[in-house]
Amino acid sequence: MARRKSLARRWPWVVYRVEQDGDKVFIKAWEANTYGRMIKSRHLATGTISEWEHDPVKPCWLTSTDTDAIHRLHEEIRDGLWELDDAIRQAYKDNRYDWEPTVDDR
């Protein structure tokens, strides 16, 4: 996949947790406040990359504004993260989340 320019400066900010469990890699996403801290009550989505046959993945936290760290991920994980990010943003456009953002959450 071609290098995607950035996830930065796109609202909402999202915090991602990437971790491996056996032969699967999980990507979990939460909404973040303006300081880049996750809002625990706002779990957005979980993505799974099954049948992982590459080097073990170190657990890591990423934010949607941390483009360089995202590009350092393995290509399959990076593509999965972007797919998850696109799905989250589409869900926001379609108003599928049951909360309204507040000024403090932005």
Domain range for 58 is 7-66
Domain membership flag for residue 44: yes
Domain membership flag for residue 38: yes
Domain membership flag for residue 26: yes
Domain membership flag for residue 102: no
Q: What percent of the chain has pLDDT over 90?
A: 30
Taking CA atoms, 27 is separated from 7, 14, 44, 46, 104, in Å, by: 16, 12, 11, 6, 25
Interval 4-38: pLDDT, tens: 555 555 667 889 999 999 899 999 999 988 888 89
What's the predicted TM-score (pTM) here?
0.78
